[in-house]
Amino acid sequence: MQKIREGVYEIPKEGEMRVPARIYASEKILGKIEQEAFQQLKNSAVLPGIQKYAIGMPDMHTGYGPPIGGVGAFEKETGVISPGFVGFDISCSVRLIRTNLEAKEIKPKLKELIEVLFELIPAGVGEKGKIRLGKDELGELFASGAAYSVKKGYGWKTDLERTEENGKMKNANPAKVSEKAFQRGLNQSGTLGSGNHFLEIQEVKEIFDSETAKKFGLFKGQAVIMLHSGSRGAGHQIATDYIDKMLQAMEKYKIKVPDRQLACTPINSEEGQDYLQAMNCGVNYALANHQAMTHWTREGFEKVFKQKAEDLGMNVVYTVCHNIAKLEKHEINGKQKELLVHRKGATRAMPAGRTENPKVYITTGHPVIIPGSMGTSSYVLVGTETALKETFASVCHGAGRAMSRHAAMQRKRGEEVKKELELKGQVVKGASWEGLAEEAPEAYKDIDEVIAAVELSGLCKKISRHFPMAVMKG
């Protein structure tokens, strides 16, 4: 591996690799990344049409297919689309909701708040959704995302302006979604899920750029809410269906991949276009999911504070996704080209001026929301011109796991994890003890180190750091 500059390393092209692999990390973090994750990044560099580099972020770790924390951009005319490079949880996203409240005002009510939110938001294994959709309604939701939810009374119109793609991914065609994905989607709209999905009430602990923070509606000592969830069973089934389809179709296109999980077809093939339209339905499902949970979060706060959510200033700051493939224009050898950028556990970070930013954030660049592990900090960043040039405007997506779920469970019981966090003054409620044990803070890399590495390599600018006061785990 060669050091390119501080925070940037390269694995030269070898074997079947079409491009080199680049890893954005500090020396300290680099030493913690598993060999298998590097191999998965090299495998990703084999895919047809990949441009410049297969890119690994500092939170990179072993996944399936590409590593989690991987980015790959493919030329629209000659490149491929790979559902495994998006992941099963299509559009797994993070939403940040602000409030006018100061952390100290909220602290005495945290326990009550988490209890109320647990009542309102279904979370964990086997928890049924409260929204029961008919097939036609689900089709409409697949086609129009968060806009559907707002129409049905979940949330405010202004929420859409502060969501990627204005809350509705275009080119979403429910006819390309299987009957099975419909069935999995019917009863899960507005559910948090399990694993690393969460709702946190956080305190803004540090502001690094007061001018930008002000534009994002953030201030020191403020109480904010962070929501992490995805497209649930509907998205998982869309990915499953199309990976299976592409495995069958690859021979026809004479494509060979080093790992079946990287199954892909040309972007312009029938299978590729079908997947793109179905994936966009998955994105819309996730956006609608966030919208419903935002509505119940506001309801919970209204109940506890006996004030209207509008008066509590509970506006969405932004919603940004970290499992997706998006068509974007980027510069390749001095020319603007249309590329399909796959981000698997990586967050889009468009700098100021780019038209992908919502109008409200055109002069700052949109907020890049990076959740930490349970009991540790989360960050708001903005992307830089360096990120645009080098990583197709992408940064990390979180701390990244350092320990398997199994190892974490062997190490500590869920009850212990809860107790330790409570001793630090946090309120913790999980849908299951095992879930809490699996998500123990020490099972993850140090988020502060990860963010420092992203900053070191010049991909982002820090805006704020938040610390959890109360956690609801699925």
The residues annotated as belonging to the active site are 397
Q: Do the beta carbons of residue 59 and residue 398 sit within 8 Å?
A: yes
C-alpha angle 370-372-375 in degrees, rounded to nearest 5: 150
**Burial classification of residue 359, based on how many CB atoms lie within 10 Å of its CB (0-12 exposed, 13-18 middle, 19 or more buried):** exposed
Which residues within the stretch 5-64 sit at the binding site for other proteins (CB under 8 A)?
34, 37, 61-64
Distance (Å, whole) CA 413 – CA 397: 27
Residues in the chain: 474
Least CB distance from residue 37 to other proteins, whole Å?
8
x/- map, 418-437, other proteins, by CB under 8 A: -------------xx-xx--
Which residue in this structure is represented by tokens 């299951």?
Answer: 432
What's CA 87's distance to the chain center, in Å? 11
Which residues within the stretch 214-243 sit at the binding site for other proteins (CB under 8 A)?
233, 236-237, 239-240, 243
Nearer to other proteins, 194 or 297 (CB): 194
Least CB distance from residue 400 to other proteins, whole Å?
8
In this structure, the strands spanning 54-61 and 21-24 are parallel
Which residue in this structure is represented by tokens 């780019």?
Answer: 354
Least CB distance from residue 318 to other proteins, whole Å?
25
Q: Which stretch binds other proteins (CB under 8 A): 124-132, 220-228, 313-321, 462-470?
A: 124-132
For the four alpha carbons of 122, 127, 132 and 133, in that order, the dihedral sign comes to positive
30, 68, 138, 339: which one contacts other proteins (CB under 8 A)?
Answer: 68
For the four alpha carbons of 430, 435, 436 and 442, in that order, the dihedral sign comes to negative
- Which of 223, 196, 204 lies closest to 380, judged by CA? 204
C-alpha angle 51-257-19 in degrees, rounded to nearest 5: 25
Least CB distance from residue 237 to other proteins, whole Å?
7
Which residues within the stretch 236-275 sit at the binding site for other proteins (CB under 8 A)?
236-237, 239-240, 243-244, 247, 259-261, 263
Distance (Å, whole) CA 441 – CA 201: 17
Size of the site for other proteins (CB under 8 A): 48
x/- map, 317-346, other proteins, by CB under 8 A: ------------------------------
Least CB distance from residue 289 to other proteins, whole Å?
14
Binding flag, residue 190, other proteins (CB under 8 A) = no
> Which spans of this chain sit near other proteins (rule: CB under 8 A)?
34, 37, 61-65, 68, 84, 87-89, 124-128, 180, 183-184, 187, 193-195, 233, 236-237, 239-240, 243-244, 247, 259-261, 263, 401-407, 431-432, 434-435, 438
